[in-house]
Structure 1
Amino acid sequence: MKVQQAREKQGLKPTPISYHMVFTGNPGTGKTTVARIISKLYKELGILSTGHLVETDRSGLVAEYVGQTATKVNKVVDSALNGVLFIDEAYALVSEGGNDYGKEAVATLIKRIEDDRDKLVVIFAGYADEMETFLDTNPGFQSRINRFLNFQDFNAKELEAIFVAKCDKLDYRLTDEALEKLQVQFKQAIQHRDKSFGNGRFVRNLFEQTLERHANRIAADGNLTKETLTTITAEDIH
């Protein structure tokens, strides 16, 4: 970035750089969160003037009738100019048979990410294998995207850390027994997970269920002290 700014000060033409990316990984591994961070970071670095994030997927880009998809794609891209366009499950653009509307969306996207690369960053996200197949469907991707980031599944300790962080944020604390039960549950979840395992979303759902059980328990007891309001027991974790 410093070199680009120095060239501009010297009256030299800026070197064209593409910041488009591909994020691969299973659900709940932080792809959208990192996209939000990148959008803010690129604004601070002067790469993007607004740094806002626009999130979309196949439903936001592919129309129902021939000739309407390009218009739909262009409208979404225009809304993301000077910011980041995050396309979740991007492989779905070409995964459905029976029509070529998805391919029309891809062709339009490839043109726009080239024409607007000085004021737009597009992040294509999805499962690793499906994204590899998706990128092979159009040779235009290879020459326009050279930044790839793979998001690994969380291990049991990381899932535990996310849960504890959520507790800390809302002034809850776990008893030793609750923490032990939580650790066992995360280990079992890891052992039986598949590619659809929610990772961070799994933790969020478990945390919300735990708070609901906690609230029901203490409300039934009728003992609403500061300690009971903030203490999660093993009984609350299911």
Structure 2
Amino acid sequence: MAQLDELCGLETVKAEVRSLMNLVKVRQLREEAGLPTPPLSLHMVFLGNPGTGKTTVARLVAGLYKSIGVLSQGQLVEVDRAGLVAGYVGQTALKTQTVLQSALGGVLFLDEAYALAPGDSPNDFGREAIEVLLKGMEDHRKDLVVIVAGYPGPMERFLHSNPGLESRFNKSLFFPDYTAGQLLEIFRSLCQKNGYTLSPEADTKASAALQSLYDHRGESFGNAREVRNFFEDAIARQADRVAGLSAPSREDLMALLPEDLA
């Protein structure tokens, strides 16, 4: 939970995960006390744009479920359509079953899940993968959690594409875009973790650049991924600048100056 709390923003997501953990813990206590426990689906839908922390939270959820004894292993297996669907008849089921086996005891995280059910292709092999997934979720319901993720609109259509999906994925978490201030916080964190110092002028320039990035974001805005790209561009420019110094000091090696930022 401490790792979850350290994440930038995502206050609603953190609160919902905490609430879910409480629900599971109390359910376990009721079982131990011999009290009835209503069915509880632990599978989830993560809705949001890229770079909003969905994979990171899925990994933390896997660890949390392991820590309270819901899952035996707690590993996270990430997969997308390409990891489940084969190009010819009969192979998709085998491919999907192999992935399911690797995820037993942990969390299977299916990103851009809607790609399995393209609306314009009723004979698409993705539908076979969905059927195998649903069967696997039923067969291994005591030791497998599946989290599907993607953009809100397409994910809604995906869940409506198969009655089994709607019934099993009844909990959704929404991951909002980071604000400009949170993007700056993420950038400062990247600098600190990687041993770079921002001069006050560089910090001001970074703030303005990330504000502009946020103000002009489009549908495919990458959030934290955009910040990482911004950071990597900055350290590349810094390297070009520092390489030209005759005897750079430790401070020179660490300092990010305004001219290092785009």
Q: Could you state the TM-score of these two structures normalised by the residue count of structure 2?
A: 0.86
- Unpaired runs of 5+ residues, structure 2, are 1-24
SS of 2:222's equivalent in the other structure is coil
- RMSD (CA atoms): 1.7
- Unpaired runs of 5+ residues, structure 1, are none
Counterpart pick for 2:100 among 61, 64, 77 = 77
CA contact (8 A) 1:17 1:118 kept: no
Number of residues paired by the alignment? Answer: 237
- In the TM superposition, 1:54-133 aligns within 5 A as 54-95=77-118, 97=121, 99-133=123-157
How far has the Cα of 1:40 moved from its partner?
A: 0.6
SS of 1:193's equivalent in the other structure is coil
Moved more, 97-106 or 23-32: 97-106
Show CA shifts across 1:60-97 (max 9, x none).
Answer: 10111112111111110111011000001101111273
How far has the Cα of 1:199 moved from its partner?
A: 0.5
Show CA shifts across 1:5-43 (max 9, x none).
Answer: 552575x88754220000010000000000110011110
Show CA shifts across 1:143-163 (max 9, x none).
Answer: 111111010001110000000
**Percent of aligned pairs with the same residue?**
50
**Are 1:177 and 2:201 matched, yes or no?**
yes
Cα pair distance change 1:50/1:13, threshold 3 Å: farther
How far apart are the structure 1 equivalents of 2:110 and 2:176? 19
Moved more, 44-53 or 103-112: 103-112
The equivalent residue for 2:216 is: 192
Q: Could you state the TM-score of these two structures normalised by the residue count of structure 1?
A: 0.94
The one-letter amino acid paired with 1:183 is: S
How far apart are the structure 2 equivalents of 1:15 and 1:26? 33
The equivalent residue for 1:35 is: 58
Show CA shifts across 1:183-225 (max 9, x none).
Answer: 1111111121112111000111111111111111011122410
SS of 1:123's equivalent in the other structure is strand
The equivalent residue for 1:165 is: 189
The equivalent residue for 2:42 is: 19
How far apart are the structure 1 equivalents of 2:182 and 2:167? 36
SS of 2:72's equivalent in the other structure is coil
How far apart are the structure 2 equivalents of 1:228 and 1:93? 50
How far apart are the structure 2 equivalents of 1:79 and 1:13? 32
CA contact (8 A) 1:17 1:117 kept: no
SS of 1:122's equivalent in the other structure is strand
How far has the Cα of 1:132 moved from its partner?
A: 0.5
